Chains A and B, each alone.
Chain A
């Protein structure tokens, strides 16, 4: 089981703030998120953390990972 947290407007795109996903086959962050967020996903302006640490889109997710996907913000 894998948990994905959607922050900011990604929670509206996905229609939920947290999603639990069971992995049938190994997959990358890129594939996982592109399937779920489609065109709304702008990699240049997005931070993806796995267990609190930044990862590249090619990171292979595994059971137990907590993925957080969030837009860049400007810090006010």
Chain B
């Protein structure tokens, strides 16, 4: 095998045993890696109804055939499990040296099951695998824990850790690496905590075999060079995703006051230029020549790594417009191991609930001091923090009444930082993302505002699917960063060429699109099996965007139209070959090589022809 290492590591924390499994060649070609592997393995191996925070859930850490190789921005890993936040399929993408080390140690994936009898960490050094005690780092924040581990395992070890939030099973706890890279929004850090697993340390001394090294070096070198010569490269290196604050403000998609508005009066004090004034350095993932982690000095004089999502969610969305204060909140979230997107959502939700008199505690918009404390309380599940640790879907259920209308989530996962009152296509992207409302699979706003912004035509559904195939299918399985393509415009044709050089296998872009469709159908099947039934109500954007129009900015008065949105969703289902409930049709599953999935789904919900 080339590109793949050909081996999977299985760890059983109940018995403190491990085993090596050969990666089947047909399986590798059919599912490629990363999300492809994770979605299929969870389907095959989890009993329906598995408690996501129980020992039988599986934590999967997976690379793909380009991960860690000489390829643009290839230092990424997928972490996946059944989600404690959504109850469905959950995964995340994390930039980390652990991605490189995993391949060098000789594994395409680690599958971790069970629960360790005491606080532990998994240490993988090539063929040497051990579960070690972690009492001395349990309770530490992610920065301190990683620093301690580096003392023992060296500068170059790949390290994944959880913070107090993961230990205390906060439902949107993530996994953190390199003091600021975070992945696994749907609570994958909580799954790790539920296994009593504080850290995974990976060190490898080998090399991933590749089919045509010369060709790989040539193609990758060309791609790296292309990236550097893109017209917006220089500006990207200055601001990275932080440019989106101003862009979002101009286009009325910058979330403000728990997604009540798409513009924010203090956007200029939290935008890319404000960030540049306090920027001290830049960090990134391995193998990347367009690094986008902007490190600033925060209000407390400490380093904090910012990107757009965390600034919008912990800034305008909670009514706070001071970049250095936002940076403090962001740093705390990273240290505790909390997802900044869901965190900004739960805080925004609580502020709105307080304003409406639904919460006992008074929580004012933009109250930095209180929010600063509250983040720790969430990570420790103390007082009001215990409620916020549950995520907006459960918070709304607790508060009752109309609270669900401003709980900004889809399938339980909170929306990323884009207001969709006036972008029906992006609302569809959130509503049909395979992990709940997230932007990584499809982001269509540039295209949408430049065409017919407020329309609900079939081409919008097609655009969302195109993105989902490439971003959510190809990139999440190769596993490399999508940003060279989406942000600086690297030609997509590079990827089949890099894949061929790495694996020796020819796959066209169309084949990758089909892979995306297969993964989407597989993930949808997982959700259906877990939920026991399915209908289109699960593919709806949050109610607020239909009901409460924007009151500010050039799009004042805009909101989504419920009936027209259903038409857009119908187009989406139809183009995917899914029925009007949102369930893949029998013929679609057959075409994608998922006959066994069809059989099982048919027993649960009855498939349409």
Contact = CB atoms under 8 A, between A and B. Distances in A.
B234 A12 contact: yes
Nearest to B233: A9
A74 interface: yes
A12 B231 CA distance: 10
Contacts of A49: 250-251, 449
A52 B250 contact: yes
B446 A74 contact: yes
B130 interface: no
Nearest to B453: A54
Interface string B215-245: 0000000000000000110111000010110
A72 B246 contact: no
Contact of A74 (B443, B553, B554): B443
Contacts of B485: 74
B447 A76 contact: no
B483 A70 contact: no
B385 to A, nearest CB: 28
A44 B243 CA distance: 20
A22 interface: no
A65 interface: no
Given A9-B234, A9-B235, A51-B554, A72 B243 contact: no
B251 A47 contact: yes
B244 A68 contact: no
A68 B263 CA distance: 15
Contact of A52 (B307, B447, B482, B553): B553
A40 interface: yes
B235 A53 contact: no
Interface residues of A, number: 25
Q: Give chain B's interface residue range (CB within 8 Å of chain A).
A: 35 or more
Given A7-B243, A47-B251, A76 B439 contact: yes
B308 interface: yes
A63 interface: no
Contacts of B235: 8-9, 11-12
B450 interface: yes
Given A7-B243, A52-B553, A72 B250 contact: no
Given A47-B449, A54-B453, A74 B483 contact: yes
Given A7-B243, A8-B235, A70-B250, A76 B446 contact: no
A8 to B, nearest CB: 5
Contacts of A51: 554
Interface in A21-76: 40, 42, 45-47, 49, 51-54, 68, 70-76
Nearest to B253: A75
Contact of B443 (A40, A47, A53, A76): A76
Contacts of B440: 76
B234 A76 contact: no
Most A C-beta atoms less than 10 A away, residue of B231, B252, B443, B554: B231
A40 B450 CA distance: 18
Interface string B275-319: 000000000000000000000000000000001110000000000
B438 to A, nearest CB: 11
Nearest to B429: A75
B231 to A, nearest CB: 6
A44 to B, nearest CB: 9
Contacts of A73: 243-244, 247, 446, 487
A52 B446 contact: no
Contacts of B445: 75
B308 to A, nearest CB: 6
Residue in A5, A45, A49, A75 whose Cβ sees the most chain B Cβ within 10 Å? A75
30 contacts: A7-B243, A7-B246, A7-B247, A7-B250, A8-B235, A9-B235, A11-B235, A12-B234, A47-B446, A47-B449, A52-B250, A52-B252, A53-B554, A54-B450, A68-B250, A72-B447, A72-B450, A73-B247, A74-B443, A74-B446, A74-B482, A74-B483, A74-B486, A74-B487, A75-B244, A75-B446, A75-B486, A76-B309, A76-B440, A76-B486
Given A52-B555, A76-B244, 5 more contacts: A45-B489, A47-B449, A72-B447, A75-B486, A76-B483
A-B interface, 9 closest residue pairs, ranked by CB to CB distance from nearest: A52-B554, A74-B486, A75-B443, A9-B235, A72-B446, A9-B232, A74-B487, A76-B241, A68-B250
